Chain A
Amino acid sequence: MVAETLFAVRRNARLYRRSLGAVVRAVLEYVADFWILIAAGIVTQSLGLVFLSVVMSRVPHLNGWSYPEMVLIYGLAGVSSGIVPVLSDGIWQLASFIHNGQLDYALTRPAPPLMQVMSAWVGFNGVGDLVASAAMLTWALTRVDVHWTPLNVLILLILMISGIALRLAMCVVANTVSFWLRMPMPMFAMTAWQVGELARYPLGIYGFGLRFLLGAAAPFAFAGFFPAAWLLDRGGYAWLGILTPVVAVLWWIFAVWLFRRGLRRYDSAGH
């Protein structure tokens, strides 16, 4: 049983890698696009940072957070949201796949359909996001007041990976809604993604409604803010950060379940 599961996981990981690799080779046919997309990602992230810097140049502390601490949250959230397009940009095409009946063949192949959809495309803008966010994160980590031990380095890594997994699961859920909405564009997921951008700032600056939304209902805060609060040992709710892996696992269970439910509604298209 365990051996079987392990075998399946390894097999799917290999298929995922091959699939993404094939897309990368295909995209490299359009080399110019590739560089433009990466540059676009870097520019977007940098503009966000400029905005943050302008705000912080007026107020040295925002809701009790210093500039490097703000950059830490911003970078952490940026890394997790930058990886989504790299690993699973195909999920954004789900709405149009459903609308045009393009899932047909995916359902007749011996690989999980969700995996085939996720790996159908690679968003190189994510590479730019990732590069810029990783730079911010590195800069911030060397400036924040943390007593580094091997243990908290390890935990931070686990929290970051969980944050990435959580963002992926949330992205899958938001796009899977297309099975019910039946629009050719993933409007719901795009809105949800915009909401996620709000989670790149300390949760405390928001009122109760948004705090509830970002912390619990659509817990983007676990992919940046809560892990940062835990690392900086903020007290109060900061311990929530350590729950990130649990939240990620729960969201993945929900995502897979919802996708399966969605597939049962799939009607292909006439002809």
Chain B
Amino acid sequence: MALLEAHDLTKTFRRPEKDPGLRGSFKHLFQRKYSTKTAVGGVDLSIEAGEAVAYVGPNGAGKSTTIKLLTGIVEPTSGEVRIGGLVPHRNRVANSRQIGVLFGQRTQLWWDLPVRESLALLRDMYDLSPDRFRAQLKRFDEVLGLDELLPVVARKLSLGQRMRADLACALLHDPRIVFLDEPTIGLDIAVKDRVREFLRQLKAEGTTIMLTTHDLGDIEDTCERIVIIDGGRVIYDGSLAQVKDRYARERRVHLQLGSELTVTELADRFPQATVTAGAEGRREFTIAFDKAELTAGAVLAGVAQIAEVLEVKIDEPAIEDVVRKVYAGELLLAEGSTP
């Protein structure tokens, strides 16, 4: 059995239906009307130990709600979840020892306490020995630069510092599986890189990871599997490489030349590609092609025969592009579903 099994997981929220204004609120007091909103509708998911899964989808797709269902924070309306054989919302205490959770928009640090004290409280809850605790702090210091944050009161931390401290909180007890809901939200490039490095390390150590993000750079190096959700339903579940391979084959080579050429000259040379001129007119070009039909190497070699190449930049499509296509409803991923 897989480490995490979710079957037909569904959560509907009940929303009061009020007319706008005070009058509407008053009316609601006497005539209660509710509408239901299905945040997650029939999600099936199975995650093996050691897997790293990216869980992506547009705003309001139901990602955070799924994580809350999987971690036992909210009870599903129907369907079931098991992590390591435990039902999270029935065995909260036992389950919490095997999972780690981070919600990027919300901290679990005690607001008025220094980071060190928050970690110490968690140490007590998770029954960590002083030696283990020290070893963990040392480990977090190496990748997350935790030491400088330890004496700082949580409410005085910057967003990036807070996120680093929260990552330490989520992983203090060496959980078998971690759920990270937007762990890089609002971070600058430097901190993002740190967090990504940390994720790679976790993955290498064999921790199972489920990660949601809108920044797909977070997942490219860490996750081999991607689950795309929209409107509360899984619309793709499969390998990230396969998605990229199938739907992200376009490559773009940007060239800066030492001598002048025309678009037609280049287009004639590469009939399979689309050539466009750059800002600098006849010395700058972008050549876009399908990587199954042409290679970047062939393009470079071909151009070098007719002009001096000063600078080259090759763009691989980010997984963003693929997901954007899915969002826009361009892709029906039926063939790729569930490997």
Contact = CB atoms under 8 A, between A and B. Distances in A.
B96 A109 contact: yes
Contact of A105 (B75, B108, B126): B108
Contact of A22 (B71, B93, B99, B113): B113
Nearest to A102: B106
A27 interface: yes
B207 to A, nearest CB: 16
Given A25-B113, A113-B92, A107 B121 contact: no
A23 B106 CA distance: 20
B90 to A, nearest CB: 10
B82 interface: no
B112 A264 contact: no
B259 interface: no
B112 A104 contact: no
Q: Range of interface residues on chain A?
A: 20 to 34
Contact of A104 (B13, B106, B110, B126): B106
Contacts of B112: 23, 26-27, 29
Contacts of A22: 110, 113, 117, 120-121
A111 B173 CA distance: 14
B97 A110 contact: yes
A177 to B, nearest CB: 18
A104 B113 contact: no
Given A104-B68, A266-B74, A110 B126 contact: yes
Contacts of B103: 104-105
B86 interface: no
A53 interface: no
A111 B125 contact: yes
B72 interface: yes
Contact of B124 (A15, A23, A26, A107): A15
Contacts of A264: 75, 89
B73 interface: yes
Given A15-B125, A19-B121, A271-B105, A108 B113 contact: no
B171 interface: no
A14 B123 CA distance: 12
A271 B13 CA distance: 13
Contacts of A112: 93
Given A26-B113, A268-B74, A108 B96 contact: yes
Contacts of A233: none
A193 B179 CA distance: 40
A271 B106 CA distance: 10
B14 to A, nearest CB: 8
Given A22-B117, A25-B113, A29-B112, A108 B13 contact: no
A145 interface: no
A103 B64 CA distance: 15
B110 A109 contact: no
B101 interface: yes
A22 to B, nearest CB: 5
Given A25-B117, A26-B110, A267-B13, 5 more contacts: A18-B120, A23-B110, A29-B112, A108-B72, A112-B93
Interface of B: 13, 64, 68, 71-75, 89, 92-94, 96-97, 99, 101, 103, 105-106, 108, 110, 112-113, 117, 120-122, 124-127, 153
Q: 10 tightest CB-CB pairs across the interface, nearest first?
A: A26-B112, A105-B108, A110-B96, A108-B101, A110-B93, A111-B125, A107-B73, A104-B73, A26-B113, A108-B96
Interface of A: 11, 14-15, 18-19, 22-23, 25-27, 29, 101-105, 107-113, 264, 266-268, 270-271
22 contacts: A14-B124, A15-B124, A18-B120, A19-B121, A22-B113, A27-B112, A104-B101, A107-B73, A108-B72, A108-B92, A109-B96, A110-B125, A111-B125, A264-B75, A264-B89, A266-B75, A267-B13, A267-B74, A268-B68, A268-B73, A268-B74, A270-B64
